[in-house]
């Protein structure tokens, strides 16, 4: 995790005057909240980098739409792509908002390949099939999600295998 903090994150805490948070962590809670994401969040705090993690700021029962406000109030975005990321409509809304904000995005590919995110294949494909078949789903929004994932999947980031995380 310390390798994530070197270089990319060092200037975050010194240039964040107009932002409430240096980093917004986007992740699928069931996949990484109690493991990698919690560890990363703690390390960011240890290094003086203010990070937004939904369980730290958002209380149970609060509108999840408030998450989108926290994205706007963050300087850097760090989506942690995992096998279940595309199953979450909220994760997909977050990544779309991050791309729209046109700020630095540092993707973490946690136990998934960048191509899975970029092309919505393997673990991402079944989730998008469900979104596509959902009659209540706005298909333009689904296309926006796909574009956002393609954009971020093409960015340089960190590729981590679950079995190498200690």
Domains of the chain, first to last: 2-164 (3.40.50.10140)
| Contact criterion met (CB below 8 Å) for 44 and 23 | yes
Q: What is the pLDDT at residue 33?
A: 76
Helices and strands: H and E segment counts in the chain: 9, 5
Q: What would the DSSP string read from start to end of 89-110?
A: HHHHHHHHHHHHHT--B--EEE
Q: What percent of the chain has pLDDT over 90?
A: 70
Total Cβ atoms within 10 A of residue 126: 12
| Contact criterion met (CB below 8 Å) for 111 and 160 | yes
pLDDT tens digit sequence for 111-147: 999 999 999 999 999 999 999 999 999 999 999 999 9
Residue 155: which pLDDT band, with cuts at 50, 70 and 90?
very high
Ranges 13-17, 59-63, 89-93, 161-165, most confident: 89-93
Residues labelled as active-site residues? 94
Residue 13: which pLDDT band, with cuts at 50, 70 and 90?
very low
| Contact criterion met (CB below 8 Å) for 71 and 20 | no
Determine the distance from the C-alpha atom of residue 26 to the mean position of all C-alpha atoms in its chain, rounded to a whole number: 3
């Amino acid at each position: 995790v310390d390798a994530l903090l070197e270089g990319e994150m060092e200037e975050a805490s010194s240039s964040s005057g107009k932002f409430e948070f240096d980093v917004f962590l986007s992740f699928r809670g069931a996949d990484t909240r109690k493991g990698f994401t919690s560890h990363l969040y703690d390390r960011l705090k240890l290094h003086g980098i203010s990070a937004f993690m939904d369980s730290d700021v958002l209380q149970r029962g609060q509108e999840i739409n408030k998450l989108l406000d926290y994205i706007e109030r963050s300087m850097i975005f760090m989506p942690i792509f995992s096998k279940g990321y595309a199953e979450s409509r909220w994760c997909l809304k977050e990544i779309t908002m991050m791309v729209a904000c046109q700020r630095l995005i540092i993707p973490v590919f946690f136990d998934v390949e960048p191509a899975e995110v970029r092309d919505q294949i393997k673990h991402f494909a079944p989730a998008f099939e469900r979104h596509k078949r959902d009659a209540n789903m706005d298909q333009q929004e689904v296309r926006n999600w796909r574009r956002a994932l393609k954009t971020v999947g093409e960015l340089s980031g960190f590729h981590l295998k679950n079995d190498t995380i200690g």
